[in-house]
């Protein structure tokens, strides 16, 4: 990544852009940005949570006050909420399979 500490600057003086070295402040900010980047594991877990939340949302109606939630649904939703437990490597996240969907 040889150009990561350079910036491409477009300006009225250089409308086609020129390659410029970043300032010390910009390099420091760049390092902060990189340090704040989520790890591959965090990214995998976040993606899993997106999918899990999607599955939970599909069954939210079963929690309405005028609906009696079945025990199978209670178990299913709890399994979804617990989906990320023990997933401490990317490989485990990728191998995880959601429980089979329950109709209610």
Nearest to other proteins of 30, 69 (CB atom): 30
DSSP assigned state of 24: H
51 binds other proteins (CB under 8 A): yes
Nearer to other proteins, 21 or 82 (CB): 21
CB of 32 to other proteins, least distance (A): 8
CB of 39 to other proteins, least distance (A): 12
Under the binding rule (CB under 8 A), the answer on residue 4 touching other proteins is yes
Q: Which is nearer to other proteins, 57 or 95 (CB)?
A: 57
Measured between alpha carbons, how far is 36 from 32 in angstroms, rounded to an integer? Answer: 6
């Amino acid at each position: 990544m040889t150009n990561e500490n350079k910036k491409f600057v477009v300006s009225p003086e250089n409308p086609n852009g020129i390659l410029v070295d970043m300032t010390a402040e910009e390099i420091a900010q760049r390092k902060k940005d990189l340090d704040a980047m989520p790890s591959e594991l965090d990214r995998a877990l976040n993606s899993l949570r997106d999918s899990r939340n999607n599955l939970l949302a599909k069954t939210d109606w079963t929690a309405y006050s005028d609906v009696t939630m079945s025990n199978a649904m209670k178990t299913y939703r709890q399994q979804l909420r617990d989906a990320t437990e023990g997933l401490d490597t990317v490989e485990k996240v990728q191998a995880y399979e959601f429980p089979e969907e329950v109709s209610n």
